[in-house]
Structure 1
Amino acid sequence: MRAFLAGLLVCLAQMVHADIRDMQFPSIEGGVLEMSAWDGQPVLVVNTASQCAFTDQYEALQTLYDTYRADGLVVLAVPSDTFRQELDSAEEVREFCEIAFGLDMPMTDILPLKGDEAHAFYKAMRDEAGFVPRWNFNKVLIGADGAVLGTWGSRTAPMSRDITGAVEAALADAGS
């Protein structure tokens, strides 16, 4: 019976991971960003806002992306007005991020993070990982296999040792 339950838990965990890898986000550029396009790569998903005290983290997110992208890291910015600190349109967000921070990382359209309207990714994080962003610039590291490897709040800087260490470990695992 124990072996059966253990096997069932592994299957359920793989289904959750598969769901994450199969998720899609509307792109700020138009079209769709598909998590499956990054299969085998770790993805750091960050809910962002252009008018937040933590907005300067965009610069560090771009630095993180520049530092590790050749090794396979994807940094996905998810603008949101859930905490009422985002610009009025995706076009304004895109222009602001390009002009103020020179961002070239993938970025979604403006999406809700909480409640019934939350994007499917954030519903999965809530239901399966117990993670709900409490503010802007919360970070979720998804491993190459779709597992949630870590979550961090707004105060954890993108280039902190906590995050870079987790990214380096995820990249090493992805390369194995």
Structure 2
Amino acid sequence: MLSMMLFFKFLFFAPAPKGDVPTSIYDFKVAGLTGNTIDFSQFKGKKILIVNTASKCGFTPQYKDLEALYEKYKDKLVIVGFPSNNFLWQEPGSNDEINSFCEKNYGVSFPMAAKISVKGRDMAPVYQWLTNKDYNHYKSSSVKWNFQKYLINEKGELVAIFSSATKPSDPDVISAIEK
């Protein structure tokens, strides 16, 4: 019984981060979907909405709303998409395939990172920061599904977490951006 409980704890809860995790979102540099580098220090003074994405998910149409949000608020908001294949293999494609899908189907122009893991043993450091209160100084969380959203304010502080079911056009998201 104990071994089964430990197995489920390992499976569903984030492991302790390994190595050095930056103390600020602005310390992160991540690989971009097209081979570029996304340097979060470039986003100082703007809000940042970080979203884990997938191409074969029921929430995939949120790409359209994310793009509309980005276009409307790009003077004060940047959206960064992180494709991941952590939930029912709903992002099986390569970075090139994901990029083509996003451009062709949704006209995505906001920054997209290279495919990463958002949970488990191989969780990317940026998601270790987002999900661990010891690093983000806001709240510990776990990524429950594709299109979960993390909002960071202009000072680089995590200030809100929105579930996958919360659309980017939801009044709560808009209110948090306009604050």
Does structure 1 retain, via aligned residues, the 8 Å contact 2:22–2:28?
no
Q: Which amino acid is 2:159 matched to?
A: L
Question: SS at 2:154's partner residue?
Answer: coil
Matched, 1:145 2:155: yes
Question: SS at 1:67's partner residue?
Answer: helix
Matched, 1:82 2:86: yes
Q: Which moved more, 1:46-55 or 1:25-34?
A: 25-34
Corresponding residue for residue 172 of structure 1 = none
Give the Å deviation of 1:116: 2.5
Corresponding residue for residue 12 of structure 2 = none
Give the Å deviation of 1:42: 0.6
Corresponding residue for residue 29 of structure 2 = 24
Runs of 4+ in 1 over 4 A off after TM superposition: none
Give the length in aligned residue pairs: 153
Q: Which amino acid is 1:166 matched to?
A: A
Q: Distance in 2 between matches of 1:62 and 1:127?
A: 28
Q: Distance in 1 between matches of 2:104 and 2:93?
A: 17
Q: Cα–Cα, structure 1 residues 55 and 158, in superposed 2: closer, same or farther, change >3 Å?
A: same
Corresponding residue for residue 162 of structure 1 = 172
Q: Distance in 1 between matches of 2:25 and 2:125?
A: 9
Larger relative helix fraction: 1
Question: SS at 2:160's partner residue?
Answer: strand
Question: SS at 2:24's partner residue?
Answer: helix
Structural RMSD (CA): 1.4
In percent, how many aligned pairs have the same letter? 35
1:43-74, Cα deviation, whole Å (9 max, x unpaired): 000000000000000000000001100x3210
Q: Distance in 2 between matches of 1:98 and 1:85?
A: 18
Structure 1: runs of 5 or more not aligned: 1-15, 170-176
Q: Which amino acid is 1:118 matched to?
A: M
Q: Distance in 1 between matches of 2:115 and 2:22?
A: 24
Matched, 1:55 2:60: yes
Give the Å deviation of 1:124: 1.1
1:79-127, Cα deviation, whole Å (9 max, x unpaired): 1011110032010000000000011110001010012311111111222
TM-score in terms of structure 2 length: 0.82
Q: Which amino acid is 2:156 matched to?
A: G
Q: Distance in 2 between matches of 1:75 and 1:125?
A: 15
Q: Distance in 2 between matches of 1:104 and 1:130?
A: 30
TM-score in terms of structure 1 length: 0.83
Within 5 A, what are the aligned runs for 1:39-118? 39-69=44-74, 71-83=75-87, 84-118=89-123
Does structure 2 retain, via aligned residues, the 8 Å contact 1:17–1:146?
no
Corresponding residue for residue 3 of structure 1 = none
